[in-house]
Chain A
C-alpha cells in the first residue's frame, strides 16, 4: 500500500505542486491549509509523513509539529519542512521539535520526491 502523506501549506499553488509531484510518485496525498487544519486532518486519519510549510496563518508549522507529537497516533511520524526560511535558529527549533528533513523553497519537485523516498525508506 502506498504511503499517506499530509501536505500543509497556506499557498494553494505550492500545495498543488507538492501534490502533483507526490501523487505522480505513487503516494496518497492529503492537503491542509494551515497548522490548525493540519492537526484536524492528522486527527482524522493516519499519515506516514508530513510535509509542511513554516510560516502560515492560524498556526505555524513549528507549533503544528509540537502539537502533533502530542497525538498518540503520530508521535513518531517524520516531518519534512518545505519553506523559504533558512535561518539557523529556526532550523534548530525545527530539529528539536523532531523535524526530519528541510527543503528550501523554491524547490525542485524531484528533490522533494527523493527526500520523501529516503525518509520513508528508513
Chain B
C-alpha cells in the first residue's frame, strides 16, 4: 500500500489549522467572552504544536507552545481574553505560517519579538489575578528509585519521557545505576539494564510522582521515600491544599466540559464522510473527461453521417452519459466560497486598523459553489476591490457621523449563483464614486476626449483602465493605480464581466459575473469563410438571418436595426480577412455581455457544440479576439471567440463611425 507524504499532509493540515485559528481569533475579537472560541483556538494551537513536533517542525512547535500556554491560561480563567492578546496571537499566527512554509529559515529574531509582544499582552491583563498566589509553596524532598523490566524497551516503554516528567515536577538530581550492565559479550543491546535514583524537590503531592509511572507501574519496581519537608514547616499543609485547589477546580471544569453531551455537529458529521483528493488528480480527471467529450463528438458526427440506426442509438447513449459525466465532474470541482470569504475578515480587520476607520464586514452566500480554479484566481481581484472599498469608498467615522450615517462603515460581500454564472458583489455604504473626478482624471490622462458623452456605466468602467487612480494622495493600501486594471484583466481572463453601480453619498456596488467553470463550455459552432469558430453559448442572445436588403442597407454603416433598436455589428469575414465570398444567406449572431450587445455576421450557423477549452500558447497571448481553441469531432481545430473583446470592439467601432458623422 502506498501512503502520501506525511510532511505534505502536515503542511495542508497546518494551513487549515491556521485558518481555523484565525477565524476563531476574529470571532473572539468580536465577543471576548466567547468560551467556545477560546477552546477552539486553544485546540488549534495545541494540535499544531503536537503535530509540528512530530514532523520535525521544532521551531514551530516551540513557538506555538507559548501561544498555546497563553490560551490555556485564558481557558482556565487565569487571565482574561483581551483585544491585545487576540492581536498578538493573530500576528503570531502569521509567523507560524512562515515557520511551516520555511522551517529552516532565520526566524529567531521575529519569534523573540512576537513572544515579547505576547507576554506583554498576557501580563497586561492578568498580573493582578496571579499575583496573590505567588507565595513560595512549601517543597518536599523525595528519594525515588525505579527500575523497569529488562524487556521494557521491546514493549515500547521509553524511560526518558518518564525522567522528563519527573523533571517537570520540580528540581531533580538523577543518577543512573549502571551496576546492572553486563559485560560486553553478554550484553543484549535491546535490553534495559539501567535503574535510576532520583532526588526530587517538589511542591507537588506524592501522588503526582505515582502519576508519572501510572501506565508502567504494573511491571516496574518503584520506591518513593519522603526525606524531608523543607523549611516553612508550619505552612506545609495549608499551601499544599491551596496549590491543589486550582488543579481540582480546573479538573472539575474540564470534566464538566467533557461530560456535557457533545453536540454532534451536523457539519462535522458530514465532513467525516468526505474523501480528500489531491487537486491535481481532479485536474487529471477533468482532462480525461475533456478527451472523452471530444471523442464522443467525433462518434456523434460519424453516427450522424451513417445510416446505421444501432450505431446512432449507441452514440446517443454515449452522448448522454458523457454529458452527465461532465456535469458530475463539474460538481466535483466545485468548492464553496467560504474559504475565499473567510480571508477577508482578516483583511478588513487589518485595513480598519491601518486606516483608523471602523469597518464591519458582512458576508452572504458563503455556501455558493464555484469551480476550484475560478476561486483561486478570484482571490487577488477581490482583495483589490475590498481594499479599494475600505480605502476610497468608506469615509472616516467623523465624516460618516457628519452625514448622518452610522459610525461604522459596512462592506457587504456576497455570492450567488445565477444561471451559469456566479455573481460576486462587493458593496459598501461609503461616499460612492465621484463621477466628475473620474471624468476629469480620464480627460487629463487622455483616456477620453474632453466632453465625450459617456453613460455612467462607461464612465465607471474607466476606473479599470491601466494607470487610472482618482486618489489624489497615494496611500499604503491602494491608490497607486495598479490593481483595478489587474482586476479587469483577471476577470476578463475568467471570461467574466464587471458591473459598477454607484450612488453619490450612498455607496457603490461592484458585481463580478463569472462563469461557473472554465474547462468546458457549451458553444455555438459557426462557419466564417472556410474556418469554424465557437461562440460561448451563454453569451448568445439570438440568431437571425441577414436579409440581402438589410445587408445592402447596412453597408458602410456599423449597426443593424433589430426590432426597433440599433445594434452595432462586426462582419467576421472582414475582421478575419477570409477573402471568400459571403454566403447567400448570412446570419447574425447577437452576443451580449450583460448590458452591451453586438451582432456578429457569420456565413453559417452549424449548431451547438460542447467545447473543451484548450488555452492558447504563449505565442498567441496578444491575440485578443480569441480566448482559446477547441478540437472538433473530426479532429479540426476551431478557435473560440472572446465575447468581451468583440463586444468592446463593436461598440468602439460604432463610436468611431458615429463620431465621424
Contacts and interface: CB of A to CB of B under 8 A. Distances in A.
Interface of A: 10-14, 16-17, 19-20, 23, 32-37, 40, 55-60, 62-63, 66, 83-84, 86, 88-89, 91-93, 95, 99-108, 110-118
B13 A84 contact: no
Nearest to B1: A23
A75 B242 CA distance: 37
Interface in B207-226: 207-208, 210-212, 214-215
Interface string B153-184: 11111100100110010000000000000000
4 nearest A-B pairs in the assembled complex, by CB-CB distance: A88-B211, A114-B156, A115-B156, A13-B10
A17 B47 contact: no
A106 to B, nearest CB: 4
Interface of B: 1, 3-4, 6-7, 9-10, 12-13, 40, 43, 46-47, 49-51, 53-55, 153-158, 161, 164-165, 168, 204, 207-208, 210-212, 214-215, 247, 251, 255, 258-259, 262-265, 268-269, 271-272
A20 B156 contact: no
A113 to B, nearest CB: 7
Nearest to A11: B51
Given A89-B211, A89-B247, A102-B215, A16 B9 contact: yes
Contact of A108 (B40, B46, B158, B215): B158
B246 to A, nearest CB: 11
Given A10-B47, A33-B272, A111 B156 contact: yes
Given A89-B247, A112-B156, A118-B156, A95 B46 contact: no
Contact of A88 (B10, B47, B153, B208): B208
Nearest to A58: B262
Dominant SS at the B interface? helix
B268 A12 contact: no
A13 B53 contact: no
A36 B264 contact: yes
Nearest to B155: A118
Given A88-B208, A106-B53, A114-B156, A58 B47 contact: no
A32 to B, nearest CB: 8
Contacts of A88: 165, 204, 207-208, 210-212, 214
A interface: dominant SS: helix
A13 B604 CA distance: 58
16 contacts: A12-B9, A12-B12, A13-B9, A13-B51, A37-B272, A40-B272, A86-B168, A86-B212, A88-B208, A92-B207, A95-B214, A102-B215, A103-B156, A106-B53, A111-B158, A114-B156
Contacts of A58: 262-265, 268
Contacts of B247: 89
A47 B270 CA distance: 23
Given A36-B269, A57-B40, A63-B258, A101 B215 contact: yes
A63 B215 CA distance: 19
A106 B65 CA distance: 13
A16 B212 contact: no
Given A60-B258, A106-B53, A115-B155, A89 B47 contact: no
Given A14-B54, A63-B258, A95-B215, A55 B46 contact: yes
